[in-house]
Structure 1
Amino acid sequence: METGRQLPHVARWLCCVTFVAFVGASLCMGQDAKPGLKIGVVNLTEVFDKYKKREDLEGRLKGERKKKLDIMREKRKEIDKLQEEVQLYDLGAEARRKAEEELDKKKVEYEGYRKLAEDGWLKQYMESTQQLYVEIRDELDKLGREEKFDLILKVEDRDVRSETINILQLKIELRTLLYHDDKLNVTAKMIKRLNDKYAK
């Protein structure tokens, strides 16, 4: 019971100490520290979309994917042709058995090639995205140091229109910055820096 009566006194004492410390810190900051933080915001999605290197990398990857898709289509045609040939032979005929074996072999080859191709695409896209992100992050670090920013925060597009409720909810949940002055936005500056550097 004694401890319970002492708690309000302890709380008041802590509040007084905290207030004094806060006032003291504020006075010190007023004398020695910078007047305020320099903050910027950047839309990473827009930077990615308008980075010329990303466009070129994506174009190259799409070209490689098209070549593999063409090969897969040819393999699929071979399978379709063999399936038609199998139907021409009588059930139990030796020729039909051999054709079916060849058909099974072609199907296994096709599935193996398709799996390798899909895994390869995913790996290439992941590595390319990671490479681009590191370049953007490093350039943003340089911009921050050169222009003496204290913070550069990620901002999303203001337009949250979506095709499904799930995507809409995700956009809302991921939004961390609800308002900023447009003067803080360094997105256009970042895009220019990256594209100028890539063009050299």
Structure 2
Amino acid sequence: MTPRWISHPKSSAGSTGRLVRPLRRLRRRTRPARRLLRSEQGLARIVRDLRTGRISDEFDRHEHRRTTQVRRSIPRTALVVFSAFFACSAFGEEMKIGVFDFGRITQETNEGQRIQKKLKDFQDHKQAELAAKEKELKDLQDQLAAQALALSPEKRSEMEKDVQKKQNDLQILREGAQREWQIEFNEAQDGFLQKVRDVVEALGREDKFTLILERDYTVYRNDSVEITPRVIERFNKMYPEASSPASASKGGAPKGSASKPPAPDKPPAPPKEEKPKPPPKEEKPQPPRTP
């Protein structure tokens, strides 16, 4: 659809302002695109979107969404804090607030490290599959380029069809790997978030906290309200199943404590065969002595 400032230029007077303002807006909108063009990954993404027809101007979607959520949550957080403060003042109770860092919990808990390793292994596996398919495609393209003049038209057409088929298969494999990765990531994230909620709720009930907030939803906080180490310690106690394989893979059993496996029982030795004793020697009669 043609913009209004292009399709309806009424007069030269005032048209400069109508032209400059949309250009400024366009420049602001294309800043993420210009940043993306400086990297090879960004260029590959743009080429892929051009091929599939999915051009989008939301290059900083995640960062923008996070910032927007924080900005919108600040008034709600302030309202919750003030409500809790007045409620505690009305009942004469002391207000106890805690703040935890979700990023540190992800990095320092055994469960978070296990999930990160699982996702990295999944990503490495998919990347290895894609690399193998890309190598097959490149080898076939090199073979076709080297033998193009020597091949018959039928053979060359057949190889070109094979190249096209491998390109399509590679594209399908990439899209499937992206979908599988997104599913794995969402499942792991949802499960981990639920565990963090359970740990924080248990810690809040046990230590009688009035309010516990995530660090990104606070503007200012004192170090006295930091409870991230306690949350990490409580998390590892509530979900210790991830600590055993990790510790076993890192350090193993301490020296001197590992017991050697018992040696297999030796089969009993066969009884020794007794050799037959030789028969006693017969004594020859001696002749009588003569006087």
TM-score w.r.t. the length of structure 2 is 0.49
Superposition deviation, residue 92 in structure 1:
7.0
Q: CA RMSD in A?
A: 2.1
Higher helix share: 1
Q: Distance in 1 between matches of 2:103 and 2:119?
A: 20
Q: Is structure 2 residue 88 aligned with structure 1 residue 33?
A: no
> Residue type of the partner of 2:188?
S
Q: Is structure 2 residue 227 aligned with structure 1 residue 186?
A: yes
Superposition deviation, residue 53 in structure 1:
0.7
Given candidates 239, 242, 246, the residue that maps to 1:198 is 239
Superposition deviation, residue 57 in structure 1:
1.4
SS at match of 1:37: coil
Q: Is structure 2 residue 74 aligned with structure 1 residue 74?
A: no
Contact 1:38 1:149 in 2 (8 A): yes
SS at match of 2:122: helix
Q: Is structure 2 residue 162 aligned with structure 1 residue 102?
A: yes
Q: Distance in 2 between matches of 1:179 and 1:190?
A: 17
Given candidates 203, 207, 211, the residue that maps to 1:147 is 207
Contact 1:85 1:99 in 2 (8 A): no
Q: Distance in 1 between matches of 2:106 and 2:136?
A: 41
Superposition deviation, residue 55 in structure 1:
0.8
Name the count of aligned residue pairs.
153
Contact 1:89 1:95 in 2 (8 A): no
Given candidates 133, 138, 147, the residue that maps to 2:193 is 133
Q: Distance in 2 between matches of 1:184 and 1:73?
A: 48
Q: Distance in 1 between matches of 2:234 and 2:92?
A: 28
Q: Distance in 2 between matches of 1:56 and 1:188?
A: 19
* Cα distance, 1:100–1:122 mapped onto 2, change above 3 Å: same
Q: Is structure 2 residue 148 aligned with structure 1 residue 89?
A: yes
Gaps of 5+ in 1: 1-25, 157-174
Superposition deviation, residue 124 in structure 1:
1.1
Superposition deviation, residue 64 in structure 1:
2.1
1:85-109, Cα deviation, whole Å (9 max, x unpaired)? 2221238711100000011111111
SS at match of 2:99: strand
Q: Distance in 1 between matches of 2:135 and 2:122?
A: 20
Contact 2:141 2:163 in 1 (8 A): yes
Sequence identity percentage = 26
Corresponding residue for residue 120 of structure 1:
180
Contact 1:40 1:186 in 2 (8 A): yes
Contact 2:144 2:159 in 1 (8 A): yes
Contact 2:140 2:163 in 1 (8 A): yes
Q: Is structure 2 residue 98 aligned with structure 1 residue 56?
A: no
> Residue type of the partner of 1:84?
D
Question: RCO greater where, 1 or 2, for CA within 8 Å and sep 6 or more?
Answer: 1
